[in-house]
Amino acid sequence: MDGADTNSAAKQSHKCYEAKYEEGATELFQLIESQKWEEALRLLEEEPDEAKIWVVSSGTENTVFSWSVWRRLPIHEVSCCLLLSCF
């Protein structure tokens, strides 16, 4: 395998998967957002690759501010939910 083949393989193994928040995100993201922790854990056991899907928001729909653009992995959403539950 030459250098070009190695780089190509590395790029393929690091593909970035995204789902649009405005289109429903992912099932895992929705479960986390609803704080349905047991269901989220069960889904993760069945579909661990869902944890690798970035959810992106364009900030153009269902938002108060047009600048509210974000990109999160499910673990980021867990952190947000847990932080908000502390207040």
User: Domain of 72?
Assistant: 15-85
Whole-angstrom distance, CA of residue 42 vs CA of residue 65 = 34
pLDDT of residue 66: 56
Mean pLDDT of 60-79: 76
Amino acid at 75: I
Is residue 41 over pLDDT 80?
A: yes
Q: Give Cβ neighbours of residue 17 (< 8 Å, ≥ 6 apart).
A: 52, 53, 54
Is residue 3 over pLDDT 60?
A: no
Higher pLDDT, 64 or 82: 82
Does the reported pTM lie above 0.85? Answer: no
Q: Which of 7-11, 21-25, 30-34, 66-70 has the lowest mean pLDDT?
A: 7-11
Contact 66, 59 (CB under 8 A): yes
Is residue 71 over pLDDT 70?
A: yes
Q: Is residue 1 part of a domain?
A: no
Domains of the chain: total: 1
Q: Is residue 51 part of a domain?
A: yes
Whole-angstrom distance, CA of residue 15 vs CA of residue 73 = 14
Q: Is residue 3 part of a domain?
A: no
